[in-house]
Amino acid sequence: MRKGPPFTNKCGPFFVSVYNKERKGKMYRGRVIYLFAGVLIASSVALLNGCGQWVYKLESPDPFIAFNEIVQQDPPVADDTPVSINDIITQLYHKSENLLSETWKSKQNIDQMFFVLRNVSGEGLNPEDYHLSEIEGLTEKIILSDEVDLEDVVRLEQLLTDAFLLISKDLSEGKANVEATDLQWKSSRKEVYTDWGKFIDSTLQNRSIIESLQNLAPRHREYNNLKKALVQYQRIKEKGGWERFITVLPKLEKGMRHPDVALLRNRLAITQGYVEYQTGEEDLFDLALHEQVMLFQLRNGLETDGVVGKATIGMMNITVEERIALIEANLERWRRASRDPGERYIRVNIAGFELQAIENDSVVFSTEAIVGQTKRKTPVLSSIMTYMVLNPDWTVPPTILREDIIPSVIKNLDYLTEKNLKILRTDGTEVDPSTIDWNTMVGSAFPYRIYQEPGPGNALGKVKFMFPNQYSVYIHDTPGRNLFKRTDRSLSSGCIRINNPLSLADWLMKDNPAWTPAEIKNVVDKGKARTIYLANPVPVHILYLTAWADDDGVPYFRKDIYDLDQPLLTALKQSPRERISNYRLITMNQGKK
């Protein structure tokens, strides 16, 4: 995986904030915006052991690129002099240094924690879930107090520690329990480092929170691309978003002239940029607008016909807040995904109906996919592809037998013959369908297996790709090529059908001189089953992503075919409970209590 430049601003002011004292001692903060693609932090749970020292449990690995851009608005002043957060922390320590525990006695540690808290929204997380307002309020109270209250200092340290622990966990392993929102979510996760006590102690002692903890947030290219999209849509929100688009016409299409066309231009301009038109022709649906409509449809998983009808208008009227929430939900999914997918792997996006082959972080092959229908969902999982079968046979699995085959045979006794399906006993001898009372088979154990030989009509097509998993799903060809023309391809019984299976086979075997594309085609043309084991097994990651972005941060959205977004969004809105409210911090100076 690619590695980015190290984070260099170790000790300098990470953000600018200003407090302006007036007569009543009230403090006003200047506003600061931080744009960054990648923020830090460690995941840990602090426990007090029997020796009076802290033991930390941290969960999650992996480095990622971090950078920041500071944009200052309404330059803050105090007595006509700009004041940075470092000055605020200096005042805080002037008041309470002798009361602070060793854990937070470093001004630089608190400096970095404030940076994290103020910028965690860039990761799709809510700063208020990590006590930002209360921490700021306590800091302000301590600075303004003539005599510092020890309880305030203890409380501030508790909040800082709790914020540190919660953000660390949420960045490294996700805030929501994705498995609870999707019972079939089985994406693998990399094993984490275990000596967390040493790691945390070293981090705080060396005053290197940002530098040491960059590894915890996902380093996936897709994660950072989504964060770029989040920044763009947050900016759109700050500018007011977009109004609902309504037209009095049944549809709008190229060649039409109507006042609503001008409104359409304005709506698309917000998310796609200015749509050019000739002077006086703003209400003409011209070629340039037609192309922009098609682009919108492409990015939103619609049929790209350039016609603005009910479906396209519905997508346009999803609010910017809803889009931001969707981006945040999919950032969370990446936090739950495998941290190390491999240098060469296969990725399937269920909601995107697509399979991709990836090498060195770049897509080298992609093809359309058909995934499980709503009642037979394709599961989220990670596994290792170990072999493929050319000209596979097919034994009908129990669900398809029970819910599809038996009802079809009851309606039409010739169904099995028409589909080239045979009924076999355990010894391999064939059973005549007419000798079975099919009505009694409904809800009962079927004593035989239904089998389909290799051939042009075989349900698995010319090749299947196998990887072990508890759901018995796999990737395969299909004779139903016409189905790939649909925009919604949730049609299978859980397995993944792909449009260009032989191209995938060629990619898998490209380093094996015995299995050239010509040789693979030769075996397929002979029509006999042949199993080929991969010399280098390939990881397979099946994901469910309803939003992603390209390298420029341009977002793509897809329909939530399995209705999994809302449960995840609900889980993300739940505030974490404070985890350390009932303990004391370490190494408090007993003589100063």
User: Which are the contacts of 415, defined by CB distance < 8 A and separation ≥ 6?
Assistant: 405, 408, 409, 421
- The total number of residues shown for the chain amounts to 593
SS (H, E, C) 498-550: ECCHHHHHHHHCCCCCCCCHHHHHHHHHHCCCEEEEEEEEEEEEEECCCEEEC
pLDDT of residue 581: 33
- pLDDT, tens digit, for every residue of 528-585? 999 999 999 999 999 999 999 999 999 999 999 999 999 999 989 887 653 333 223 3
Neighbours of 399 (CB within 10 A): 13
User: Which are the contacts of 13, defined by CB distance < 8 A and separation ≥ 6?
Assistant: 84, 85, 86, 111
Please report, in tens digits, the pLDDT of each residue of the chain (593 residues total): 333 333 223 232 222 222 223 323 333 333 222 222 232 222 222 322 222 222 222 232 332 222 222 222 233 332 333 333 345 545 655 566 666 666 677 778 888 888 888 889 999 999 999 899 999 999 889 888 888 888 888 888 888 877 877 888 888 888 887 666 666 666 656 445 445 556 666 677 777 777 666 677 888 899 999 999 999 999 999 999 999 999 999 999 999 999 999 999 999 999 999 999 999 999 999 999 999 999 999 999 999 999 999 999 999 999 999 999 999 999 999 998 888 899 999 999 999 999 999 999 999 999 999 999 999 999 999 999 999 999 999 999 999 999 999 999 999 999 999 999 999 999 999 999 999 999 988 877 899 999 999 998 899 999 999 999 999 999 999 999 999 999 999 999 999 999 999 999 999 999 899 999 999 999 999 999 999 999 999 999 999 999 999 999 999 999 999 999 999 999 898 876 533 332 233 223 333 33
CA–CA distance, 422 with 416 (Å, rounded to integer): 7
CA–CA distance, 120 with 213 (Å, rounded to integer): 14
User: Which pTM value belongs to this model?
Assistant: 0.79
* Contact call for residues 497 and 421 (beta carbons, < 8 A): no
CA–CA distance, 48 with 41 (Å, rounded to integer): 21
- pLDDT, tens digit, for every residue of 333-378? 999 888 889 999 999 999 999 999 999 999 999 999 999 999 999 9
* b/e map 256-277, b = 16+ CB within 10 Å: eeeebbebbbebbeebeeebeb
Residue 209, Cβ density class (10 Å: 0-12 exposed, 13-18 middle, ≥19 buried): buried
Q: Provide the 8-state DSSP code for 494.
A: S
